Structure 1
Amino acid sequence: MAPKDAEEIAFMKTVPYRQLVGALMYLAVATRPDISYAVGVLARFSSNPGPGHWKAAKHLCRYLQGTKDMKLTYAPDPHAPELFTTFSDADHGGDEDNRRSTSGMVVKMGTGAISWASRLQTIVTLSTTEAEYISAVQSGQEIIWLRNLLSEFGYEFTGPSTLYVDNQSALAVARNPEHHGRMKHLDLRHYWLRDVVEAGDIDIKYLPTKSMPADIMTKALGHLKVVEMRGMLGLYD
């Protein structure tokens, strides 16, 4: 969707694309996790956006106008007794330009999200398992950071923090060192997750895709699914 001719290049110079994406990024980081993936995609083309990107950015603004009363709400969740719960997902090879995967993460405290991320992975993965595992590593790092932060505030953890993934193969790799042979070509830093699982800091579990809040961080979804995902994130009007 890059500019195809001089006319489109001239048109894009007249619109505040970068400024708009910057404003949308502030919302995505601060209060609107539901637009994180869309804003991340728009930001990838900040150096050379085309009319299609500008149209998509305006469409996102219309979505925000229609949901401007949405806000993150927090309440106790009887199904999540831990202080916080983390969810990890990935879309394998979703970027059509470089075939890299997108990692998605959501951390919930009670019924509402307190931390989230949608990131393009830095390497091209050879399988869904690899993409999901790398996303789980990134989510695990957020878990350890939160545990350290809360410990400084005086909170004492008596057990591991739960990390949910929706890929059984990635779960097996994280739990069982013997499964690492199939992915030994990955950078050594990605083996870090196995160590923190063995140390008892993180307990990694399976969660079906239909119940995965981080799914909205990895791909574009239809209207009904977006509405469902907003509820999982704790976004209500």
Structure 2
Amino acid sequence: MYCFVNKNLLHSSIGLRSLSAASCEAAKPHSNCTTVTTPLPDGHRLSKAMAPKDAEEIAFMKTVPYRQLVGALMYLAVATRPDISYAVGVLARFSSNPGPGHWKAAKHLCRYLQGTKDMKLTYAPDPHAPELFTTFSDADHGGDEDNRRSTSGMVVKMGTGAISWASRLQTIVTLSTTEAEYISAVQSGQEIIWLRNLLSEFGYEFTGPSTLYVDNQSALAVARNPEHHGRMKHLDLRHYWLRDVVEAGDIDIEYLPTKSMPADIMTKALGRLKVVEMRGMLGLYD
């Protein structure tokens, strides 16, 4: 057995499987036994309008451990369960004033974890991935109900399993899907450069660029060709960093259809079939 950041890893001939059988301890008291098949209901969106509306709801929310539960779930999302990253990130946005609707969504996530408690991140060689690691970027334009900001999603895979992932609310309001996707690509590109630098320190020699996959052709065109900057010239200058690293040959941006994009689960609440498909892309298996 190997121990890595408080997560046990089992080595086998087919790869490494993250042992997370105990990952649902925090969820058990709130799972109500009946399991569900998605982290959040398909298309479900939370908002500040769901905050307590009267004294009864305020009193009820004082009796439930919303913040403590979200904190425990956040550890799982960061450590071993990329499939719940979006749901946990959304729930965390309302920690200062959660309402019964937010609590219901948190319990829904617990029921999902209870039904998938044997899921493990699995790492094995991927014959279809010639690079040491591959990165995927996606965004949900204007998805936040309260401020209309977009959510960025990123997944980095080494072999068949995800080694890094993120679901984060963007800091600005974007005017188009292209802008939202491009900003997400910038954030993912920064992770690529960090990983390349880290692996270089370990002695790995990169002989070419690392691939970043996006599912928006317009964002791809902006990153590749300065002639397309007109539609994006109002963005902060730091967002043009991506174009520089592409021109330098450190990152190569390629198009990937949405149906094959594992970062999609980092940006929105998906239905059952899509969640199952995305889990496989992340390397999560029973």
- SS of equivalent to 1:169: helix
How far did residue 82 of structure 1 move? Answer: 0.2
Identity %: 99
Partner of 2:255: 206
How far did residue 145 of structure 1 move? Answer: 0.2
Out of 237, 244, 249, the residue aligned to residue 195 of structure 1 is: 244
Cα separation, 2, equivalents of 1:223 and 1:8: 31
Deviations 1:105-126 (A, max 9, x none): 0000000000000000000000
Deviations 1:61-98 (A, max 9, x none): 11001000000001111111100000000000000100
Between Structure 1 and Structure 2, the one with more helix by share is 1
Cα separation, 2, equivalents of 1:188 and 1:51: 41
How far did residue 102 of structure 1 move? Answer: 0.1
**What is the aligned residue count?**
237
Where structure 2 has 5 or more consecutive residues not aligned to the other structure, the ranges are 1-49
The runs of 4+ residues in structure 1 deviating greater than 3 Å are none
Where structure 1 has 5 or more consecutive residues not aligned to the other structure, the ranges are none
- SS of equivalent to 2:123: coil
Partner of 2:59: 10
Deviations 1:7-62 (A, max 9, x none): 10111011100000000000000000000000000000000000011111111011
How far did residue 181 of structure 1 move? Answer: 1.5
Cα separation, 1, equivalents of 2:238 and 2:113: 38
How far did residue 182 of structure 1 move? Answer: 1.2
Cα separation, 2, equivalents of 1:111 and 1:180: 35
Cα separation, 2, equivalents of 1:208 and 1:78: 20
How far did residue 177 of structure 1 move? Answer: 0.7
- SS of equivalent to 1:73: strand
- SS of equivalent to 1:90: strand
How far did residue 104 of structure 1 move? Answer: 0.1
After TM superposition, the score normalised by the length of structure 1 is 1.00
Cα separation, 1, equivalents of 2:201 and 2:283: 27
Deviations 1:106-153 (A, max 9, x none): 000000000000000000000000000000000000000000000000
How far did residue 228 of structure 1 move? Answer: 0.4
- SS of equivalent to 2:145: coil
Partner of 1:93: 142
Cα separation, 1, equivalents of 2:209 and 2:218: 21
- SS of equivalent to 2:163: strand
